[in-house]
Amino acid sequence: MNFTGILLGGITFLIIGLFHPIVIKAEYYFSKKIWFVFAIVGAIFLLVSLFAGNDLVSSLFAVLSAGCFWSIHELFEQEERVRKGWFPKNPDRR
């Protein structure tokens, strides 16, 4: 039996769950202007996934990369959620 797919699915689920609060905090403290950090980190994870020697490790870095790239979209969506009052606005930021 091969449990690699189940392991990959479980870790992917955890990574997705981890990115939700990261996006919320990033928008709260830095606004959507921090999107380029997610792009750079996503590109680094993508490159690491290309050169990883193990298929599971390569897949996990690719999932991390996709999470970073998707977070760029979510930062802009989070700004809209804050504007609608669904999430608190940082009072220290204009």
Q: What does the pLDDT look like over 45-75, one tens digit per residue?
A: 999 999 999 999 999 999 999 999 999 999 9
Q: Whole-angstrom Cα distance, residue 27 to residue 77?
A: 10
The pTM of this model reads 0.89
Among candidates 11, 19, 27, 18, which has minimal Cα distance to 79? Answer: 27
> Could you tell me the CA-to-CA distances from 29 to 51, 75, 80, 84 in Å, in that order?
34, 12, 15, 18
> Could you tell me the CA-to-CA distances from 21 to 4, 25, 47, 53, 54 in Å, in that order?
27, 6, 25, 31, 29
